[in-house]
Amino acid sequence: MTAIEVQSLTKRYGRFPALNNLTFSLGQGQVVGLMGENGCGKTTLLKVLAGVMLQYDGEVSILGHRPGPESKALVSFLPDQSFLADGDRIRRCADMYADFFGDFNREKFDDLLKFFRLEPAMKLSQLSKGMREKAQIALAMSRDARVFLLDEPISGVDPAARDVILRAVVRHLEPDSLVLISTHLISDVEPILDRVLMMRYGQVLLEGGVDDLREQHGKSMDQLFREVYRWSEN
């Protein structure tokens, strides 16, 4: 079944189209890398899909729902900026998540905390950047959601932490879930990707299955990304 269907999506900030007649669809049961240069529209797209940005032109459907309360119940969104209050402890963040989201799964959360070697009593203000990213990923991935939208979940953390975070992303994934993960760290993310969606100027530049693209071009996604963007400049 199609998880995300986007047709002729345009989102303007003033007169500037951050998303420009964007069309694509993504099926369930895969991990998709959303890639592209700074400012190509990745965060804007994720915000529209997450239902936090409701003013746009075009058609967007998440498992058959327009972005809104019904789609939000099925979508777990990890924004690119920290959404947790510094003064809180991890335990309190989990309680708030459980209050807010009916599909919050405490067992998954406890497992992910252990996996990350984090303690419920830890205060957010005392966590390093990498530990904080881990706490946020643990919260976002502990929902029994159908679609996960992760905006740069491993930016600014060391390579070992990136690896652990990515393993956590796929740890409890249901076979029919879709994960859309935006990143500039392509070679780090590549091992968990089934598909890539490369964007430029608010449009799709290249889309395809990772195995097919590798076979077709004989290149890693990181190499392909560099090449595709070089071609499109000429």
Ligand X SMILES: Nc1ncnc2c1ncn2[C@@H]1O[C@H](COP(=O)(O)OP(=O)(O)OP(=O)(O)O)[C@@H](O)[C@H]1O
Residue in 15, 38, 100, 230 binding ligand X, rule: CB under 6 A? 38
Nearest alpha-carbon partner for 153 in 188, 121, 122 = 188
42 binds ligand X (CB under 6 A): yes
Contact 188, 159 (CB under 8 A): yes
First to last CA, the chain: 37
Stretch that binds ligand X, among 31-39, 93-101, 130-138, 223-231 (CB under 6 A): 31-39
**Shortest Å distance, C-beta 228 to ligand X:** 16
Residue 223 in tokens: 């190499």
Q: What are phi and psi of 31, to 5 degrees?
A: -110, 125
51 binds ligand X (CB under 6 A): no
Contact 1, 63 (CB under 8 A): yes
How far is 103 from 153, CA to CA, in rounded Å? Answer: 21
Stretch that binds ligand X, among 33-41, 64-72, 115-123, 218-226 (CB under 6 A): 33-41
How many chain residues bind ligand X (CB under 6 A)?
10
36 binds ligand X (CB under 6 A): yes
Q: How many angstroms from the chain centroid is the CA of residue 10?
A: 20
The residue among 113 and 152 lying less far from ligand X, judged by its C-beta, is: 152
**Shortest Å distance, C-beta 67 to ligand X:** 16
Residue in 4, 6, 33, 41 binding ligand X, rule: CB under 6 A? 41
The residue among 15 and 117 lying less far from ligand X, judged by its C-beta, is: 15
Stretch that binds ligand X, among 34-42, 65-73, 89-97, 216-224 (CB under 6 A): 34-42
Residue in 13, 55, 100, 107 binding ligand X, rule: CB under 6 A? 13
156 binds ligand X (CB under 6 A): no
Contact 108, 173 (CB under 8 A): no
Nearest alpha-carbon partner for 80 in 2, 149, 179, 1 = 149
**Shortest Å distance, C-beta 126 to ligand X:** 27
- Burial group, residue 62, by CB count within 10 angstroms (0-12, 13-18, 19+): buried
Q: What are the residues binding ligand X (CB under 6 A)?
A: 13, 18, 36, 38-44
